[in-house]
Amino acid sequence: MQPIQGRIPTRLALFHGMGSIAYGVKDNGFSTFLLLYYNQVLGMSAQLVSLALMLALVIDGIIDPIIGYLSDRTHTRWGRRLPWLYIAAIPLGISWYLMWSETTQPTFWGLVGLAVAVRALVSCCEVPSVALVPELTRDYDERTRLMRFRFLFGWGGGLFVMFLAYDVFLAKGLLDAEGYRAYGLTGAFLITGAVLISAIAQHRIASGYPPRHRSKFSLATAFSELRESFSHRAFVILLLGGGLAYTSQGITFSISNYLYLFIWQFTPQDLGLFPFVLFASVVTTFLLLPHLHKRWGKRDTAVFAAVTGAAFWTSPFLLHAADMWPQVGTPQSTWPLFTLFFLSNVFNVSAMISASSMVADVVEASEERTGRRSEGAFFAGNMFMTKCATGLGIFTTGQLLAFAEMPEKARPGQVPEAVLDTLSLTYAMAVAIFAVCVALVLRRFPITRADHEARLAALAAARANPDAEGMHP
């Protein structure tokens, strides 16, 4: 396929973004409900569950670069990416349902196996889908626009099932096992439908034989090329900065229900309203981010947003621990929380979208050096980082809960205040430290708008004159 010149049609951007619903549903379930479900409902220890999920993430993350590499080398009349989406969608939906249909405490390795299956199948959908971004357009801003749609749909899908969980499936309480089964079944249909609809809608644009049929797959060649791609300085910076950011996000997502139930004592009505607050923040980011990028560019926006988002998020926890926050469980506490969490999420999502769009710009920087376009490999490497970091975050949450001596099968209002204060302070400190480190790392990212546009011009000249000295074909 040839990249689209100028503005991407809105219809195409919408359907492309729809593909990320599967990732959003998966991410919300794993990060928000899975630890609570297996710990508080099925009775596994928090440390054992977090260890199983971290191990599953690492195992699956090792698979991701191979999926990306194979996606880059797929040669069919349906293109490089679409066959993966068509094949993986239904098995993913089935695996997702099985994850939430447990009624008795599973074995450690049973949980690891289910988690690996779900995450590997999500990779088979997400990696080829997001790898279409640098293929569809090489424009600096249009790539961000596609990423904005991906994040909008990803967050929207995750928050939609979160809303259904809080207001419908788990309306009787977050410890209702039958509610989780309904949650899993609904998510399975949503995941499968979103992936297939997105693929079908993009078929006319993305299908067709790739321009070159690459050599036969070799494991040695695969690791050699992956190593060469992943050693690019700009990509290493993104991996490190993203690893820190997603570890922090993994902690926040996996600990969130503990925070909402035990520290802030949200009512069922509060929990039902909260997804709308978060979705409103994502819509605000969707509208605001182009203006931030136009003024500061992707890198500086990500740096500023990472620190600002953490400041808004951690402030109520610090004030609560210092006995300077209104009585929890009251409107005087809940509405200021919603406001601060709204502002925090606007900046946090801005940082995530900016960094994800920066990955697409590494593709041409690598092509200039290696002569290869490795969209799938780079986004698979980014997903590998995301999974490992999220797993580390979930594992860290288990340790934070153990350090604070959080009791199993606890009930809101019955946890000692000293336990909650310890949990608040250690969690807030972790988030703040990670945010500062993310900003310090990302500010070293070397690709600006001017760099990218100059590189595109140089690559275009090289293609027009492949015999020029020092130019790759």
pLDDT in tens, 146-163: 999 999 999 999 989 988
More confident residue, 470 or 78: 78
Output the pLDDT for position 13: 95
Lowest-confidence range among 228-232, 246-250, 344-348?
228-232
Q: Any residues with CB less than 8 A from the CB of 108 and at least 6 apart, and which? A: 48, 51, 52
Checking if the pLDDT of 473 tops 50, the result is no
| Total domain count, the chain | 1
Nearest to 423 by CA among 441, 410, 440: 410
4 within a domain of the structure (yes/no): no
218 within a domain of the structure (yes/no): yes
Highest mean pLDDT, choosing among 33-37, 55-59, 233-237, 411-415 = 233-237
6 within a domain of the structure (yes/no): no
Give the ranges where 131-218 is alpha helix by DSSP (H): 132-136, 140-164, 177-201, 203-206
Output the pLDDT for position 471: 41
| Mean pLDDT, residues 327-338 taken together | 94
What does the chain come to in residues? 473
Task: Read off the pLDDT band of 469 (50, 70, 90).
Answer: very low
How confident is the prediction for the chain on average, in pLDDT? 88
Task: Read off the pLDDT band of 261 (50, 70, 90).
Answer: confident
Cα–Cα distances in Å, from 216 out to 219, 226, 263, 421, 473? 10, 16, 56, 58, 20
Highest mean pLDDT, choosing among 230-244, 395-409, 450-464 = 230-244
Checking if the pLDDT of 11 tops 90, the result is yes
Lowest-confidence range among 182-196, 257-271, 286-300, 370-384?
370-384
CA pair distance 469, 315, nearest whole angstrom: 57
- For 12-21, the pLDDT digits (tens) are 999 999 999 9
Nearest to 222 by CA among 73, 69, 363, 375: 69
Token duo for residue 110: 């049973």
470 within a domain of the structure (yes/no): no
Give the ranges where 371-448 is alpha helix by DSSP (H): 375-403, 417-442
| Mean pLDDT, residues 264-274 taken together | 88
- For 173-220, the pLDDT digits (tens) are 888 888 999 999 999 999 999 999 999 999 999 888 777 656 565 666
Output the pLDDT for position 389: 85
Of the chain, the percentage scoring pLDDT greater than 70 comes to: 95
E-assigned strand segments in 10-134: none
**Reported pTM:** 0.80
Token duo for residue 169: 């499936």
1 within a domain of the structure (yes/no): no
Cα–Cα distances in Å, from 423 out to 138, 428, 438? 45, 8, 23
Sign of CA dihedral 443, 446, 451, 452: negative
Output the pLDDT for position 30: 85
| Mean pLDDT, residues 358-377 taken together | 86
CA pair distance 18, 198, nearest whole angstrom: 6
What type of residue is 336? P
Q: For residue 90, give the CATH number of its domain.
A: 1.20.1250.20
φ/ψ of residue 186, rounded to 5:
-65, -45
| Mean pLDDT, residues 286-292 taken together | 95
Q: According to the 3-state scheme, what is the secondary structure of the chain?
A: CCCCCCCCCHHHHHHHHHCCHHHHHHHHHHHHHHHHHHHHHCCCCHHHHHHHHHHHHHHHHHHHHHHHHHHHHCCCCCCCCHHHHHHHHHHHHHHHHHHCCCCCCCCHHHHHHHHHHHHHHHHHHHHHHHCHHHHHCCCHHHHHHHHHHHHHHHHHHHHHHHHHHHHHHCCCCCCCHHHHHHHHHHHHHHHHHHHHHHHHHCHHHHCCCCCCCCCCCCHHHHHHHHHHHHCCHHHHHHHHHHHHHHHHHHHHHHHHHHHHHHHCCCCHHHHHHHHHHHHHHHHHHHHHHHHHHHHHHHHHHHHHHHHHHHHHHHHHHHHHHCCCCCCCCCHHHHHHHHHHHHHHHHHHHHHHHHHHHHHHHHHHHHHHHHCCCCHHHHHHHHHHHHHHHHHHHHHHHHHHHHHCCCCCCCCCCCCCHHHHHHHHHHHHHHHHHHHHHHHHHHCCCCCCHHHHHHHHHHHHHHHHCCCCCCCCC
- For 340-361, the pLDDT digits (tens) are 999 999 999 999 999 999 999 9
Output the pLDDT for position 242: 93
Domain that holds residue 335: 12-464
Checking if the pLDDT of 446 tops 90, the result is yes
289 within a domain of the structure (yes/no): yes
Token duo for residue 279: 């979705």
471 within a domain of the structure (yes/no): no
CA pair distance 278, 163, nearest whole angstrom: 11
Output the pLDDT for position 213: 57
Lowest-confidence range among 273-282, 288-297, 392-401, 441-450?
392-401
226 within a domain of the structure (yes/no): yes
- For 98-124, the pLDDT digits (tens) are 999 887 888 899 999 999 999 899 999
| Mean pLDDT, residues 423-429 taken together | 94
Output the pLDDT for position 467: 58
